[in-house]
């Protein structure tokens, strides 16, 4: 079986909106709009993480020409800029929030997070404190992974089934804890080691940047060529 057989293009965004000169990877509203327009025109089927998990449960392959849209950190603009555009296109998406940061300046409030959840956005956990899990002690793992899930569920009144590892960092122990806690899948970055079979607790994502408003670059990323190129150029 080809090592790319299980490729699911999961696009990873952070902030969509005005460039603020900080370190947050940001895609402008205009570039984001062009990316969504491109996906729609090329008839990509945007599927939810729930659909990915269900297909994994049933050992079904992913649909052709599909992609998944995810947003880390829960910035205010995910609610005010990205979500209205996604709705206009009818695209599902997931946002991963960090309870310790919800409501802080620049981040969405619980009211906004709950509104997005009611409106159909998948809300996932991005750990309690945006912690880099390989450096977290065993007892704190429970708070970061299990307590964050429970707290978000309480706030939005819905199940939290997905997690995104801050900075993509995870360990086998963290994976065991989230599996035990009932998460259906977890997303990392493109750091994860590729395996012959797909690891649902280490779904690799493609980072989308402002430059990807260029259709060819986005096409290469979504279709897996970018990924293949990266692997060819990396020591294994
Ligand atoms: Zn993050």
Q: How far is the CA of 206 from the centre of ligand 1 (A)?
A: 14
Q: Contact, 35 vs 212, CB < 8 A?
A: yes
Q: Which residues fall within 8 angstroms of residue 56, CB to CB, at 6 or more apart?
A: 185, 198, 200
Q: Is the pLDDT of residue 48 over 60?
A: yes
Residue 61: its pLDDT value, please? Answer: 86
From ligand 1's centre to the CA of 99, what distance in Å? 12
Three-class secondary structure of residue 203 per DSSP:
strand
| pLDDT of amino acid 228 | 55
Whether the CB-CB separation of 149 and 181 falls below 8 Å is answered with yes
* 10-124+185-232 CATH fold: TIM Barrel (3.20.20)
Query: Measured in angstroms, how far is the CA atom of residue 130 from the centroid of ligand 1?
Result: 6
Give the model's pLDDT for residue 47. 96
Helices then strands, counting H and E runs in the chain, come out as 10, 10
Query: How much is the average pLDDT of 2-26?
Result: 80
Output the CA 98–ligand 1 centroid distance in Å. Answer: 8
**What separation in Å is there between the alpha carbon of 157 and the centre of ligand 1?**
23
Tell me, in angstroms, the distance from the centre of ligand 1 to residue 78's CA: 13
- Per-residue pLDDT, averaged over 112-118, amounts to 98
Q: Average the pLDDT over 18-35 and give the result.
A: 91
pLDDT one-digit tens code per residue, 143-186: 999 999 999 999 999 999 999 999 999 999 999 999 999 999 99
Give the Å distance between the CA of 72 and the centre of ligand 1: 5
Q: How far apart are CA 93 and CA 41, in angstroms?
A: 18
For residue 1, how far is its CA from the centre of ligand 1 (angstroms)?
33
C-alpha 106 – ligand 1 centre gap (Å): 13
Q: SS3 of 184, please?
A: coil
| Ligand 1 centre distance from Cα of residue 49 (Å) | 18
Q: Which CA distances in Å does 81 have to 86, 187, 236?
A: 9, 23, 39
Per-residue tokens: 84:
């209205």
For residue 75, the cross-strand partners are 107
Beta strand spans in 62-132 (E): 66-72, 94-97, 122-125
- Please state which of the ranges 7-11, 114-118, 120-124 shows the lowest mean pLDDT: 7-11
Residue of 118, 146, 141, 117 whose CA lies nearest to 131? 141
Beta strands in the chain (DSSP E): 10-13, 15-16, 26-27, 45-46, 66-72, 94-97, 122-125, 162-164, 185-187, 206-207
Q: How far is the CA of 103 from the centre of ligand 1 (A)?
A: 15
Spacing, Cα 2 to ligand 1 middle (Å): 31
The pTM assigned to this predicted structure is 0.90
The pLDDT value recorded for residue 105 is 96
**Where do we find the tokens 């603020």?**
20
Element housing 77 (H / E): helix 76-77
Q: How remote is the CA of residue 164 from the centroid of ligand 1, in Å?
A: 8
């Amino acid at each position: 079986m080809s090592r790319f057989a299980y490729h699911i293009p999961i696009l990873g965004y952070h902030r969509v909106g005005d460039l603020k000169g900080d370190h947050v990877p940001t895609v402008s509203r205009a570039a984001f709009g062009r990316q969504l327009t491109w996906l729609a025109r090329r008839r990509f089927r945007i599927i939810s993480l729930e659909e990915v998990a269900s297909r994994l449960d049933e050992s079904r392959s992913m649909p052709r020409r599909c992609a998944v849209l995810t947003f880390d950190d829960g910035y205010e603009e995910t609610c005010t800029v990205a979500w209205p555009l996604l709705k206009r296109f009818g695209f599902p998406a997931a946002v991963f929030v960090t309870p310790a940061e919800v409501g802080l300046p620049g981040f969405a409030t619980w009211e906004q997070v709950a509104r997005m959840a009611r409106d159909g956005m998948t809300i996932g956990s991005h750990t309690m404190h945006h912690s880099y899990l390989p450096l977290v002690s065993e007892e704190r793992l429970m708070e970061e992974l299990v307590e964050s899930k429970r707290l978000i569920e309480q706030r939005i009144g819905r199940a939290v089934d997905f997690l995104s590892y801050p900075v993509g960092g995870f360990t086998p122990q963290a994976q065991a804890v989230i599996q035990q806690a009932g998460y259906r899948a977890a997303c990392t970055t493109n750091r994860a080691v590729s395996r012959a079979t797909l690891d649902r607790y280490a779904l690799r994502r493609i980072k989308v940047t402002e430059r990807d408003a260029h259709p060819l670059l986005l096409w290469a990323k979504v279709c897996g060529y970018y990924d293949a190129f990266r692997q060819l150029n990396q020591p294994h």
